[in-house]
Structure 1
């Protein structure tokens, strides 16, 4: 081993290494990543693919003075290692441990943080403009993947970057993969660039251009000649040059020598320049390298030798995503107007089966949530019954479209809000705790959450048989799944209740998986409470609320999402407007962003665990007595 990975203090430790030493270091980093992520879980494939690229970036540029911004940030593990954080990798994505993304509070080498794609270019422009206004001199280096490059936000940023002409080195990290295979016309454009004459074949031309320059001549003039040489040898007009951006590429992203040479030229260039780097996602680990399904994008603990995932679902359980996807497939058998859309999350939302069975009715929109929402609304307007599968955290990006195109025109789109609630180790950027408050504010929307797999099927069937925007939220994790024998519509806005009798000493109103958890704990411990399954957040079951008020019993609203604008807020609003006298005790997440950690840890820290709930129940019952 050339260097103990955990002894790296910062990028300066690699500045004097030879190319061969950097190659050996890259090999060791790759082994370190595989061994570490096998124990903690995390984003594996994307980080294995950028090892040499990240090493070359830190060799050529001077972080933290130079600003290296990783789009999304889940591929910043190598960056973390090279900036002295390898010893903390045993705590990766664990509570109070190392974040799975760039995090400003974690290191001065992290100038920006994100968990969603396509923000790096806008952020880079902001830093470049600020640098120039402050008369400073440092490099801004956004690293953007090909999937994120086609996102609307990236295109908007490129448009202004081409106009502003600020000094910037844009690393176009091209592995021809999102979480799964990329789609779209721009991907085809990038494919033509990938197969064009590689930059490595042109290094003699560039070397000649540099050698013939006059002493003291600015690198800008040299690079203009280089740009013309490169453009002549590309088989198609570059997407980037059409946007007034200089372009070098494609470069082998696993050839450190070529990367260093190219980056040194780009560093001296004036104006924005795109360095097109071809990498292999999952490089160096055969299971990840050969993966086309997205399985190895983000992984839980696994066996390195066999590739076997160590965390298995309980018997008769399916992931919530699979329960929903299976039901959509089943309903589509008898309803040929059902179509499915997803913004680049076919595998994450378990839609592979639908795409296989009904390819002409299945649409992967790429990382373009806004487009996906309008596309779905237009399909509904034209008589189709679209199902839009989208993660809660990503749905936020399409809020304007949910408002204007879907809600305002009252179009019957069924939205599957995947990964609602706390999601655990991915942290603040991925927790799905805001969708209730967001959608409650929109007229015409119906919003619900099932307590189990059976109710999920019936609610989804209900959604496809009404004429309004209908959102069904479901968490990360699993539940018992058995196909229902008969589909039945559930009355919109209706709740159910367990043990509503004279023995009850308190009422707990809750939703989702916590309904059965609360019932189970109350039954085992013989605690005399009524449990209400508030499966609809909008509309509410007003009649049941009135009945609860008439009992004069203490009422607890137990939420596992943000309190502000959530279920208890909705109940308080209705009670106030209708003159219903029903004081509430509210348990939920307070007004802040929740960090990363395991679900049990986060629930305990946020005081939304069952122990906190039942302590409050006991307190209220004793006080009432």
Structure 2
């Protein structure tokens, strides 16, 4: 479908073109940019409401600053669509988040205007500060700007960066985009604090008076800029106690101002560009601005999928038969079932109640399920604290976000052997969000930690049973349950709970010559491959291992005693993962077999649909079938190790 941008926007191929326009034309540019985002995302998909909320800011920044020489860092990147369109990627924008197309987030290799790759929140201030410090050291008059949402401000890293910025004497601007939203509504004291600033009529009137006064005061030998600054600081201290949070960190605070007033934004940014040192501009915006339905339900319209832009109908897949639920929803509903039986169960998530489906428990049991803000480290340690008091805590964090709480898992959970249940949603490849969100590394980074139990369900029934097992008093260890993004395989998934013996897998079927060992959801790919292979007279065995730590040694002894060829399949990196654990067992017990490891290769995997990425990484049903055929034909006894282009590892002994 050909989508044509408006008459002004279609001639903007860079910020230089934007600067050729007069200020009065910027209103039309904003209207055209907002409409173009609506037109493209409604047809091709992607994140939606966040970028609509910063249209004016995107235009104003590229109009007032000298990008890309001036360094602009967007936090997270959900909000950077307007930025991408204005910086030479307008015509390619329909490929956003598509296989081999534009990334859904700023990406350094994609454009010189993308100064820093982002995907996880709260990194922008640290990155921009580093850039500002480098500019100062090199004697460059280069400005650094970090755009961060109020949701991202809840993370400790943002406060660490502001604490440093206040004493670094670097020339940088922090723009706090305050819309009371990240993906879900923001939580915590900071939200209330910013609301107080925004709604304080006394402060806002006095602020306007002070700014007007300072703009009219003469600056000369009798009244220096330093004196003006002291007057400004003094008046702020007397009138607005709320601003002291930022002022106490030695950040000059300006605002709040209307983030949808393009003229005011341009004027303010041009003024702030001339003020040296660390400073913060507080702007107030509406997530989803310009599309009424998105303004009304900002969580739903964060990334709605394809929709009719006129009626607002969000298109759903047409199904003719009952469909399996998403793993996240199985988790969410199972939490309620378990909590009704066990009053010690609590749930914790760092700012992802909708994404993880913990929202169901938060609605029904608000005193037992908590959104702690974008604070993975805090989520880990507060879960540990609850566990010391006998609570059975399910801490739900996306696999890629779990990386941010690694120290807390080691120091606060594993060393103390606290039975926190770490539910890793989005484990494995995640699709269109790409490399910043792929949950590729959790198996090896948890497998090396003592006291850990690491599991993965092949289907919804196993997820429920692993959750049931983890909360039993018999389990006294940290318990990891990793499961993928998206739908499972069981439409009828509400099965009775059954305890699973920790460290025990299951044999799905016997076979000849070749054994497939799967860990987690890819076991279903193996099942599909086996159905195809049996029509060719090839009959491999299949084992669903369930646990990588402790691994089922009894099953592995059986496998290596009976089969010459072993193929392992996992939705994680092949380096140090499940397949590596199997090979370690083989070496320890001096078995002789050919082992092929299928999984995520040792390289950065870009974005695309899950089907496209499974195919690229060669551990879908087609790849598994091909590996079995190759194993059946293989001969020789020499020890060898090989990694092909996809990352498949083969070890023969």
Which TM-score tier does this pair reach, normalised by the shorter chain? Answer: over 0.9
- Residue 471 (1) aligns with residue 480 (2): yes
- Residue 268 (1) aligns with residue 274 (2): yes
Structure 1 residues 300-333: Cα deviation after superposition (integer angstroms, max 9, x where no partner): 2222233333243852321110001111110101
Q: Name 2:264's counterpart in structure 1.
A: 258
> Map of 1:32-181 to 2, 5 A cutoff?
32-181=36-185
Q: Distance in 1 between matches of 2:41 and 2:6?
A: 21
Runs (5+) with no aligned partner, structure 1? none
Q: 1:505 aligns with which of 486, 504, 513?
A: 513
- Residue 608 (1) aligns with residue 619 (2): yes
Shift of 1:96: 1.6
Shift of 1:220: 5.7
Q: Name 1:567's counterpart in structure 2.
A: 578
Change (3 A) 1:313 1:435: farther
Shift of 1:34: 1.0
Q: 1:312 aligns with which of 313, 317, 325?
A: 317
TM-score normalised according to structure 2 size: 0.91
Q: Name 2:27's counterpart in structure 1.
A: 23
Q: Distance in 2 between matches of 1:158 and 1:371?
A: 19
Q: Name 1:410's counterpart in structure 2.
A: 417
Q: Name 1:234's counterpart in structure 2.
A: 240
Secondary structure at 2:240 match in 1: coil
Q: 2:587 aligns with which of 548, 569, 576?
A: 576
- Residue 531 (1) aligns with residue 564 (2): no
Q: 2:376 aligns with which of 369, 381, 399?
A: 369
Structure 1 residues 123-179: Cα deviation after superposition (integer angstroms, max 9, x where no partner): 111111111110111110000111111210011111111111221111011111121
Change (3 A) 1:2 1:317: closer
**Farther off after superposition, 318-327 or 299-308:** 299-308
Q: 2:337 aligns with which of 317, 330, 339?
A: 330
Runs (5+) with no aligned partner, structure 2? 637-653
Shift of 1:215: 5.8
Shift of 1:587: 1.8
> Map of 1:424-435 to 2, 5 A cutoff?
424-435=431-442
Retained in 2: the 8 A contact 1:414–1:472?
yes
Change (3 A) 1:483 1:529: closer
Q: Distance in 2 between matches of 1:6 and 1:506?
A: 58
Q: Name 1:461's counterpart in structure 2.
A: 468
Q: Name 2:651's counterpart in structure 1.
A: none
Q: Note the aligned Cα RMSD (angstroms).
A: 2.0
**Farther off after superposition, 342-351 or 306-315:** 306-315
TM-score normalised according to structure 1 size: 0.95
Q: Name 2:501's counterpart in structure 1.
A: 491
Shift of 1:188: 1.5
Secondary structure at 1:411 match in 2: coil
Structure 1 residues 569-620: Cα deviation after superposition (integer angstroms, max 9, x where no partner): 1111122223333331122222111111112222222222322221221122
Structure 1 residues 404-426: Cα deviation after superposition (integer angstroms, max 9, x where no partner): 11111111111110000000111
Retained in 2: the 8 A contact 1:165–1:271?
yes
Q: How many residue pairs are counted as aligned between the two chains? A: 622
Q: 1:400 aligns with which of 402, 407, 418?
A: 407
Change (3 A) 1:201 1:288: farther
Q: Distance in 2 between matches of 1:269 and 1:188?
A: 29
